[in-house]
Amino acid sequence: MNKATKTIPRILKDNICTVFNLLNVIIAVMLAYVGAFKNLLFITIVMTNTVVGIIQEIKAKKQIEKLSLQSRPHTTLLKGGIEEVVTPEKIRTGDILLLYSGASVCTDCTVVTGSVEVDESIVTGESEPVTHHPGDTILAGCSIISGKSTAKALCESSACFTSRMVDEVKKTDVAKSELITSMSKVTKLTGFIIVPLGILLFIQSFAVRHSTLSEAVVATSAGLLGMLPKGLVLLISIGLATGVINLSRKHVLVRELNSIENLAHCNILCLDKTGTLTEGSLKVEKVSMEIDKNEFNKLLSTYIKHTDDNNSTFKAVKHYFTAASSYEIVSTTPFSSERKYSTVALKDGRTLVLGAPEKLTCNISSDVMQLMKKGRRILYVGICNTNEITPRNITLAGKIVLSDVLRKNASESVKYFKNQDVEIKVISGDNPVAASCIAGQCSIKNNDNYIDVSGLDGESLEQAAVKYTIFGRVTPEKKRIIVRALQKNNNKVAMTGDGVNDLLALRQADCSIAMGNGSDAAKQTAELVLLDSDFGVLKDVISEGRRVINNMTKSAGVFFIKTIYSVLLCILCLFFNRDFPFIPIQITLIDAVIEAFPAFFMSFEKNDRKVEGTFLRNAITSALPDSIAIFACCLVFLLISPALSINELQCNLLMYLSVGFISLAAVAKSCMPFNSLRLFLCLSSIIMFTGAVIIMAPFLQLAALTGSLLLPMAAVIIPGIIFSLLFKKI
């Protein structure tokens, strides 16, 4: 089923109806009530941030929906014996659907003919495949693993069981984002602090100091506005939305905004060999026959004519062998990733078996092993004369050698991930020797460290997941166990896949990626779809995610300075029984030229440095030195002002300049190492703030900077700036 994007009303609601906006509106109403209209300028920043955030998210939504048309599932209907491929919304009750391996079930239906193995994990949570026969009901959202059948639609796709569930829970792209989760924590903490501090500041100013109502509201509002990191949440949304738009130009469908961020956190990338490292277009390279050629061709014609297989191996075999006469059959068993073989029971009592060498023979010959070491896929063809399909009961009829083409940019992409400290593991259903060879051709580190996991389970498989690099003969459930075992060892795991055998692992992974030429089921499960099936574009996805996280962390380090020092100054003012030293218009200047201006433009800059630590911890530890420096300078000015005959307005000016210049030092730190853009942004912030303080002092209600204030200003603020520059984190 499609993962729906947010509706436009939902986007409007999420951007407008936030706790930060509510607090800002309450403050604005109070200021308007007392006629302090000049101090309402901050609301324009809030409105601008909100509008820009809405526009970017709507643009991202349109890009996602546009690319989704290329990735949406299709269903094959049988009408009068003619197959017709349609989109899910065109299914009507009573239509006959054709179900085959790799297809997504787009509406609830009842099996009419044939049998299919179905992955129902997305609906029931059970990982084991379930075989459905005529009369059984299959729910929408399931995926066909193997087999072929016809089924009768019980309803339209919009009325199916899964759609009703989605409507009930209103499932959209919320939740796994560390950035958004961290900001939710900040919102809750700020909301918890701001109300009691606001009440205490107002009572102190109005009731204890006997200030006018207007003065009390203005002073209290300034303190509360300083605690709100205005625009940071919207800046994060803009950053993620911009990433979606940039990746859409590279034909990457991002189903969830936070998936870009999730991939950037991943330190292990699990790849499926076929369709990811290779193009997945198998072709028959050589055929070795152990029986008469005509008999062999007749057996293969029987398989091609009657099997329900629909995988790449079947397509290659069908393309290679010309039509010939065939045997009458009794039944077929389609290939599955669990069995590793398919069968056709002939009417004469024999059973034709095609599958992996280790499933059809007890001893694999040296020449076959050599071919596997060269990356070839070997398909054994055998005859079994009993009902028990075991290697001892199978007589080899021939061997089919298949080859696949390595993707052009596979080696280059592997090199990129290696340089970025992203460990690569190959999890394949193929023979581990063949998978190791392909991994070696791509220069994957430790490609000779491979294992056949067909005999492993439980704890032994979990231990192998950590120890080995290449995994062969992996079933769908074991793929999930390997991913889960890696996660248990404190790893963030991304998984790529293109088939139904990858579904369980894709759902388990921290970030799931599907190839555009893969099955509908894989594309509907994954958070990211590479529509051109270009594995190399993954480095662009990681780069976008790291750009967002690293740039937002740097910007948050500046935003949180004001939040921290505002809380500390409010407590200091309560202790010294004085009004908050600043007014809202002064806070707005800092919001605009020190926080918002450089952060907005820096958020678009490339920054693919490896993500280390967590967003909130990094941002707060980055902001602490500057906040402490500001608090210390303000405290010193409060203590020395009486001795130096500095009045309250002059003291407020010195405290304001402490805030401004130390915050500018923090901007300079976030811009290092300088390039032309970052140097321009840093110098512009300095010039705009300094110019505004000098030119617009009356408008900002700042005291004049007289010569007598220069010495104490320099003596206190310069050490604060030095402290700020020396300590990047605490």
Catalytic residues: 272
> Counting Cβ atoms within 10 Å, is residue 298 exposed (0-12), middle (13-18) or buried (19+)?
middle
Strands 528-530 and 252-254: antiparallel
> Counting Cβ atoms within 10 Å, is residue 219 exposed (0-12), middle (13-18) or buried (19+)?
buried
For 392-424, the DSSP string reads GGEEEEEEEEEE-PBPTTHHHHHHHHHHTT-EE
Question: Position of tokens 């290659």?
Answer: 316
Token pair listed for 220: 């209290």
The H or E element spanning position 666 is: helix 648-671
Close Cβ partners of 199 (under 8 Å, ≥ 6 residues apart):
none
Q: Could you say which DSSP state residue 254 is in?
A: E
Q: What span, in angstroms and rounded, lies between the C-alpha atoms of 23 and 27?
A: 6
Strands 450-452 and 470-472: parallel
- C-alpha dist (Å) from residue 15 to 8, 47, 229, 668: 11, 10, 15, 30
Q: What span, in angstroms and rounded, lies between the C-alpha atoms of 540 and 604?
A: 14
The strand pairing partners of 132, in sequence order, are 116
For 8-52, the DSSP string reads HHHHHHHHHS-HHHHHHHHHHHHHHHTT-GGGGGHHHHHHHHHHH
Question: Position of tokens 């918002």?
Answer: 596
The strand pairing partners of 118, in sequence order, are 130, 144
**Whose CA is closest to 194, among 580, 666, 576?**
580
Q: What span, in angstroms and rounded, lies between the C-alpha atoms of 726 and 686?
A: 19
The H or E element spanning position 115 is: strand 109-119
The H or E element spanning position 503 is: helix 503-508
Token pair listed for 192: 């918890």
The strand pairing partners of 152, in sequence order, are 96, 110
**Whose CA is closest to 564, among 659, 656, 652, 654?**
659
The H or E element spanning position 639 is: helix 615-640
Close Cβ partners of 368 (under 8 Å, ≥ 6 residues apart):
357, 378, 399
For 288-311, the DSSP string reads EESS-HHHHHHHHHHHHHH----S
Token pair listed for 622: 């980055």
- C-alpha dist (Å) from residue 216 to 36, 213, 220, 519: 11, 5, 6, 65
Contact of 469 with 449, CB cutoff 8 Å: yes
Q: What span, in angstroms and rounded, lies between the C-alpha atoms of 528 and 363?
A: 42
**Whose CA is closest to 548, among 599, 621, 593, 594?**
599
Token pair listed for 310: 């629909």
Q: What span, in angstroms and rounded, lies between the C-alpha atoms of 598 and 618?
A: 19
